[in-house]
Structure 1
Amino acid sequence: MQKVIRRSVLAEKQAARRHAKRKETATREWAKSNREQDRHLRREAIDQLKQARLNRREDWELGSLAPKRDVGKSKDTYGTIHTQRMRGTLLHHKDRAEAFQPVGGRYLNIVKNDRVVLLEGRDKGKIGKITAVDKARAECTVEGLNLIDVAVPSYMISAEDPDQRPIRTIEKPVPLASVRLVYPLSDPETGVTRDVIIKKLKNGPIFHDRHLNKTKWSRIVPGLNIVIPWPKTPPKEHKDGPNDTLRIDVEQQTYVPSLLRPPMPGSVIDELRNKFSKFRTRHDPEYIEAKLAEDRAVEEKKKQAAEMRTPLKEINRRERKLRKAKGKGKLSTEMLERIGHIIAKKRGLTMGVVGAPKEALPLAA
């Protein structure tokens, strides 16, 4: 039985090592792909900036003779950017934690459907509603603000797509650090309610609901102790399809439990527990008894081998009996005198080496 337990433990350790190796490989692949994408976008942005500088210098030198650049092949794509530059790059978890600091840290205080104001860009000072939050890039999309023209390649437009325009105007995501929450607050003195830009928010008590697998917390204005409620989201509408199982069919009781038979047949239990898996830790009583019988047989063989009488064991047993019959030896007077002479001789040699007198000093009474 110990072999079975050891096999399960070794299988779990080996599976953990394989999982760690796959995870490390996936992390390296993600980092490599992210670096290549960042390098490509950075190179494209630099090339576009250099071309814009050359065009500006040419326009300044030629003056009224400067050519028009929004004609010909660039008629539709002039002033647009590539779709890959529409969003920012994926952030490392350390950079992501630093980017989340102005908006609450790990538990964000800015979510979808919040009203925010932009702190930078051409739409600086304008207020809009958040339509999406991208935590992987620490960005949010504000409805109707920070609009850009994007040139969509032809291979990205399918025949079934209702929008066949090659040039589209969309909202470019902005960093979370570039927005601040806007919420209407009432003045306690005048009673006038107006929009207030909240520069800082702190998290209230955090509650983890392990049943729903959700985390809840409140956002509070520090100093004023005003709780800012979360935006209301409409409930999701679930429509029943032709292949969906109706709730009335699920709640209908079709099984009556009884103690006369197990709740599930043995074949189903074996299928769920994977009877032949090397990771299995729960076994049938018959299997456990068979393995214990094997262990007992191995121990019995070892015991029989220990009790077996061999010529070598007989010689050792005879020698032990002879030594026991002789008993412990006694030192005679001659032996003691000889031992004393040897000790005195060694003492004299030691005293000569250290430079002390070789004659022994009398001991004090």
Structure 2
Amino acid sequence: MQKVIQRTILAEKQAARRLRTRKDKQKREHQKTDREQNSFVRREVTQNLKSRRFERREDWELGPLAPRRDVGNKKDTFGAVSTQQLRGPTLTFEERKEKLKDLGGFRLNLVKGDRVVLLEGRDKGKIGKITATDTSRAECTVQGLNMVDIEVPQYMISETDTDKRPVRTIEKPVPLDKVRLVFPLTDPETGVTRDVIVKKLVSGKLWVDKVTGKRKWARIIPGLDIAVPWPKVEPKEHKDCAVDTLRAEVETRTFVPTLFRPPFPSTVIDELRNKYSIFRTRHDPEYIAAKMKEDELKAEKKKLAEEMRTPLKEINRKLRKMRKAKGKGELTVDMLEKLGRIIAAKRQVALDAAGMEKVEQVPETIAA
């Protein structure tokens, strides 16, 4: 039975090692894909800037003779941004840490439903509500702000889509370090409540909700020690359909557990996992009893082999008796003199090897 347990542990370790290797490989592949996408977007942005500069110079030089650029293939999509440029690049760990340092770090204190103000761009100073956040790019989408025209490829327009326009206006994500939370605060002296821009938010103590199992924390305005409440999340609307199971049928009690049988038949485990699988940790009582009996037989054979007298064991026993009969050896005066001569002869060799000329004798101290 011990071999079965060891084999199971070994198989679990091997499976965990393979899973870890597979996850590392997937992580490297994701990082490679992100680098390729970021490089492609940078090249496209650089090429667009060069083209716009060239066109602007050409328009200035030619004047009335400058060509029209909103005709031909680009008559419908002229001035629109490609979908690749809509989102920013995927950031590294250090870049995200730097961008989110004033918003609570990786425990982001800006979520969907918060009112924020834009600090840069053509909509600078305008207030809007966050509709989505992306921590991998440190961006958020603000409702009705930072609108851009994007070019929708033809393959993205399906036949059933009612909107066939090649250009559509949507919100472009804004970097999180370019927005600040707007929260109404009451002046304790005047009693007037007005919107205040919160420059920095810190995270409070972390706890886990026992009902939902999610991590929660308080977001606090440093200096004022005011806790900013989280926006209220509206419950999802569940629409009933004809194929749905009625609640009365779900809540009907059809199974009563007892102490005489398990919640499910014992043969279900054989269907879920092979009866003799190396990953199996629960076995049948008959199988366990057979393995335990095998272990007992092996232990009895081992004990019998230790008790069995062999010619080699007899010789070792006689040698031990002879050594015990001789007793411990004693050093005679002649032996001590011979050892002293050997030590004195090798004294200078030992001093030379240690790099010393002579050994200083420490005077004996007399205890008071």
TM over 0.5: yes
CA-to-partner distance for each residue in 1:168-215, whole Å, 9 max, x for gaps?
Answer: 111100001110111233333333333221212222333212441212
Q: Tell me the equivalent position of 2:297.
A: 297
Q: Distance in 2 between matches of 1:184 and 1:242?
A: 46
Flag structure 1 segments of 5+ consecutive residues without an equivalent. 356-365
CA-to-partner distance for each residue in 1:96-122, whole Å, 9 max, x for gaps?
Answer: 232221212122221112111110011
Q: Distance in 1 between matches of 2:244 and 2:329?
A: 101
1:327 maps to 2:325: yes
Secondary structure of the 1:205 match is strand
Q: Greater CA deviation, 341-350 or 168-177?
A: 341-350
1:194-233 → structure 2 map (5 Å cutoff): 194-233=194-233
Secondary structure of the 2:267 match is helix
Cα gap change, 1:225/1:298 in structure 2, threshold over 3 Å: closer, same or farther? same
What root-mean-square deviation, in Å, do the aligned CA atoms of Structure 1 and Structure 2 show?
3.0
CA-to-partner distance for each residue in 1:59-87, whole Å, 9 max, x for gaps?
Answer: 12122322221122221121111111111
Secondary structure of the 2:185 match is strand
Q: Tell me the equivalent position of 1:112.
A: 112
Q: Greater CA deviation, 2-11 or 64-73?
A: 64-73
- How many Å apart are 1:317 and its aligned residue? 4.8
Cα gap change, 1:118/1:316 in structure 2, threshold over 3 Å: closer, same or farther? closer
1:3-152 → structure 2 map (5 Å cutoff): 3-152=3-152
Q: Tell me the equivalent position of 2:193.
A: 193
Secondary structure of the 2:6 match is helix
Q: Distance in 1 between matches of 2:336 and 2:19?
A: 73
Cα gap change, 1:255/1:63 in structure 2, threshold over 3 Å: closer, same or farther? same
CA-to-partner distance for each residue in 1:271-297, whole Å, 9 max, x for gaps?
Answer: 467643322333333322211211121
Flag structure 2 segments of 5+ consecutive residues without an equivalent. 350-356, 359-368
CA-to-partner distance for each residue in 1:26-82, whole Å, 9 max, x for gaps?
Answer: 011011111111111111111110011111111121223222211222211211111
Q: Tell me the equivalent position of 2:163.
A: 163
Secondary structure of the 2:298 match is helix
Cα gap change, 1:343/1:146 in structure 2, threshold over 3 Å: closer, same or farther? closer
Q: Tell me the equivalent position of 1:247.
A: 247
Q: Distance in 2 between matches of 1:268 and 1:12?
A: 21
Secondary structure of the 1:84 match is helix
Residue 289 of structure 1 aligns to which amino acid in structure 2?
A: A
Residue 325 of structure 2 aligns to which amino acid in structure 1?
A: G
Q: Greater CA deviation, 303-312 or 158-167?
A: 303-312
Q: Distance in 1 between matches of 2:126 and 2:260?
A: 72
Q: How many residue pairs align between the two structures? A: 351
Q: Distance in 1 between matches of 2:329 and 2:129?
A: 106
State which structure, 1 or 2, has the greater radius of gyration over its C-alpha atoms.
Answer: 1
Cα gap change, 1:90/1:154 in structure 2, threshold over 3 Å: closer, same or farther? same
Q: Distance in 2 between matches of 1:350 and 1:67?
A: 105
Q: Distance in 2 between matches of 1:199 and 1:40?
A: 34
- How many Å apart are 1:5 and its aligned residue? 1.5
Q: Distance in 2 between matches of 1:167 and 1:181?
A: 32
Q: Tell me the equivalent position of 2:365.
A: none
Residue 13 of structure 2 aligns to which amino acid in structure 1?
A: K
CA-to-partner distance for each residue in 1:203-235, whole Å, 9 max, x for gaps?
Answer: 233321244121222222222333322222321
Secondary structure of the 1:266 match is coil
Residue 11 of structure 1 aligns to which amino acid in structure 2?
A: A
Q: Distance in 2 between matches of 1:351 and 1:101?
A: 71
Q: Distance in 1 between matches of 2:220 and 2:347?
A: 88
Q: Distance in 1 between matches of 2:116 and 2:202?
A: 17
Secondary structure of the 2:326 match is coil
Residue 257 of structure 1 aligns to which amino acid in structure 2?
A: P
TM-score by length of 1: 0.85
- How many Å apart are 1:161 and its aligned residue? 1.8
- How many Å apart are 1:350 and its aligned residue? 6.1
Q: Greater CA deviation, 278-287 or 338-347?
A: 338-347
